[in-house]
Amino acid sequence: MSGIIQLLPDHVANQIAAGEVVQRPASVVKELVENAVDAKATEIKLIVKDAGKTLIQVIDNGLGMNVTDARLCFERHATSKIRHAEDLFALHTKGFRGEALASIAAVAHVELKTKQDQEELGIHIIIEGSKLVTQEVAVLPKGTSFLVKNLFFNIPARRNFLKSDNVELKHIIDEFERVALAHPAISFTMISNGSEVFNLPSSNYRQRIVNIFGGKTNEKLVPVAEETEILKISGFVGKPEFAKKNRSEQFFLVNNRFIRSPFLHHAIMNAYDGLLRDNNQPSYFLYLEVPPHTIDINIHPTKTEVKFDDEQALYAILRSTVKHSLGMFNVAPVLDFERDATLDVPYDYKNKTSSTPLIQVDSTFNPFATETETKRYSGSSASYAKSTPSQPHWESLYTDLKQDTFEVSTTSFENEVVASKLFDETQVESQTLMYQFNRKYIIKSMKSGLLVIHQNRAHQRILYEQFLTNITVHQASSQQLLFPLEIQFSREEMMYLKEIQPNLEGIGFAFEKMGFDEVVISGLPAQILDTEVNAILHDLIYNLQENLPEDSFSLSDSISKFMAKSVAVKSGKYLNTIELENLVNGLFACKDPNVSPFNKPIFITLTTEDLDKRF
């Protein structure tokens, strides 16, 4: 009697296995580029279209394959890299499972062209969904080209599951950077939808890092070097003052392979203890070499996690090496034994220059001119819903208000309760019956009770609606800068910037130049100061990277939101009577004055009855 168990046909087994290896276009990029590295290529070129959904091509000048191998490489467990189980403990190659090509061929249309140096002719093979379509000899240059089209053509569910092009491209760039960082001697190029994203010549580690992350990176790097029996460390860590809000510049490369290790990351954070502003992340590019038999990279199919024999020892060595390098860099220039350590300025204040408070008067302001247009709050928000939020006159008064916002945010006053005085003297005379309380809330009396407004959220709402309108109608005025601003970005940040350039222009940015790793800005939105723009744009890109929106409306929405968040007046900022009034008027001229762009309540009301009940 025959049983019910059957062996799965190869193409089905391959498709199932593909689920492990090929999650998204970036996985294909990783496998193909790593194969090219293993084939000892000195030049590798990556071409993608539509974030790899339509096409991924990797061209190398490596060893190539002969006819037999060119057919065999698509079989499962077909590899030239290991022969015996013991080889797993002495790995010198990226690949070893012999699964990648079989998996890719199971879920895409694949074209392989390859030729070995000593051969006259090469071979051209087309495989679709594991089935051989053609195989012929061809005149080819030395090396290999893999072309992968229509990924997941036969698994619609998978294809639909892919994220927007922005998101998928970010994953591809991440994989590309990791391999490129590990192999600076190999020259790499990446082209996306016809334009060059990276062009990295053969170089050393330092130059490779700078070529990927932008010219400014060079000055941030502190060299790290240590050699012990169980671990050799080289590479660079970032100077603490350049620490970023995100973890995009943190790389461990163990035996030339990018790995993730929360444990080793912790060792680095420990070495930076006391040197970082809260929650900031240091950059590090650390190359670790350990004897191959002391690590197991076999615990995860996509191989970014490894197991070390003696983690504790590695932790200790890494921590003290990094600490030592940071110390050298900090102490060497000032060997001053007389110095009283208690006089040292804490990190947060080290770079702050003291400034004379200055009073700015906006001479163009005429309090009477706006009388007819500035609608005063009368207790009913409905009466303001109709008014246009686009050009409120109180904007002109914001010139001096904005001056301080950046400073406040960098010295993290945000949540501090600064003034304990109940009311500022300037407001005693106030007929408006409006007070700023604790430099955080605006309290306004109305006929029916009290209105308590969150100043930061109110301003976020006003700015958000302005930005969103301006992006959509593309009519914002731009203030021309006398001296154009040059701002540096990493290659990856530049990709995002180019993507959102039209939106930013809608808000009022004018770009004179969009280079490889820098932009020149010649005009700014009225709401943004030139001293803030660097931080605001970096913040914006960081936020978009973290939560990349799927469609263009949500992209505009997110840009407006995050921009409003960084530009808005912070809690802790003193506002004078006129500023208070403008803020309140501006708020109630908004389409939705109730909640902030991040859906938090902006104000609460305390009615006379509420108060009566409490007495």
Pairing of strands 257-259, 143-149: unpaired
Alpha-carbon span 46 to 56, nearest angstrom:
7
**60 binding partner (options ligand ADP, Mg ion, none; Cβ < 5 to 8 Å by kind):** ligand ADP
Minimum distance of ligand ADP from residue 139's CB (angstroms): 18
**28 binding partner (options ligand ADP, Mg ion, none; Cβ < 5 to 8 Å by kind):** none
Is 100 among the residues that bind Mg ion (CB under 5 A)? yes
Alpha-carbon span 460 to 369, nearest angstrom:
26
Contact by Cβ (8 Å): 81, 38: yes
For the chain, helix, strand, coil in percent to 5 are 40, 20, 40
Tokens describing residue 103: 């998996």
- CB count within 10 Å of CB 112 equals 23
Q: Of 593, 169, 158, 78, nearest to 383 (Cα)?
A: 593
Q: Of 585, 567, 582, nearest to 527 (Cα)?
A: 567
**243 binding partner (options ligand ADP, Mg ion, none; Cβ < 5 to 8 Å by kind):** none
Contact by Cβ (8 Å): 158, 42: no
Among 54, 88, 89, 98, binds ligand ADP (CB under 6 A): 98
Letters for 73-92 (x = contact with ligand ADP by CB under 6 A, - = none) are x----xxxx-----------
Query: Could you give the angle at the alpha carbon of 388 between the alpha carbons of 385 and 390, nearest 5°?
Result: 130
Alpha helices in 434-576 (DSSP H): 455-473, 491-507, 533-546, 552-567
Nearer Cβ to ligand ADP, position 73 or 190? 73
Among 15, 28, 31, 321, binds ligand ADP (CB under 6 A): 31
Among 17, 33, 39, 190, binds ligand ADP (CB under 6 A): 39
Alpha-carbon span 239 to 276, nearest angstrom:
10
Is 389 among the residues that bind Mg ion (CB under 5 A)? no
**65 binding partner (options Mg ion, ligand ADP, none; Cβ < 5 to 8 Å by kind):** ligand ADP
Is 322 among the residues that bind Mg ion (CB under 5 A)? no
Minimum distance of Mg ion from residue 147's CB (angstroms): 16
# binding residues, ligand ADP (CB under 6 A)? 22
Is 100 among the residues that bind ligand ADP (CB under 6 A)? yes
Among 101, 147, 583, 584, binds ligand ADP (CB under 6 A): 101
Among 22, 26, 29, 36, binds ligand ADP (CB under 6 A): 36
Nearer Cβ to ligand ADP, position 62 or 129? 62
Among 65, 148, 507, 569, binds ligand ADP (CB under 6 A): 65
Q: Using the rule CB under 6 A, give the single segment among 59-67, 386-394, 568-576, 599-607 that binds ligand ADP.
A: 59-67
Tokens describing residue 413: 């006053």
Is 95 among the residues that bind Mg ion (CB under 5 A)? yes
Is 59 among the residues that bind ligand ADP (CB under 6 A)? no
Q: Of 314, 263, 265, 326, nearest to 288 (Cα)?
A: 314
Letters for 17-46 (x = contact with Mg ion by CB under 5 A, - = none) are ------------------x-----------
Minimum distance of ligand ADP from residue 288's CB (angstroms): 22
Q: Using the rule CB under 5 A, give the single segment among 87-95, 341-349, 540-548, 606-614 that binds Mg ion.
A: 87-95
Alpha-carbon span 48 to 159, nearest angstrom:
16
Minimum distance of ligand ADP from residue 129's CB (angstroms): 16
Tell me, rounded to whole angstroms, the distance of Cα 271 from its chain centroid: 24
344 secondary structure, DSSP code: P
Beta strands in 50-89 (DSSP E): 55-60
Is 466 among the residues that bind Mg ion (CB under 5 A)? no
Alpha-carbon span 394 to 548, nearest angstrom:
33
b or e along 425-454 (b: 16 or more beta carbons within 10 Å of the residue's beta carbon)?
eebeeeebebbbbbbbbbbbebeebbbebb
Residue closest to ligand ADP, measured at CB: 95
Contact by Cβ (8 Å): 235, 224: yes
Beta strands in 330-439 (DSSP E): 434-437
Nearer Cβ to ligand ADP, position 32 or 458? 32
Is 455 among the residues that bind Mg ion (CB under 5 A)? no
Minimum distance of ligand ADP from residue 84's CB (angstroms): 14
Tokens describing residue 302: 């996509």
Letters for 216-255 (x = contact with ligand ADP by CB under 6 A, - = none) are ----------------------------------------
Which spans of this chain sit near ligand ADP (rule: CB under 6 A)? 31, 35-36, 39, 60, 62-65, 73, 78-81, 95-101, 144
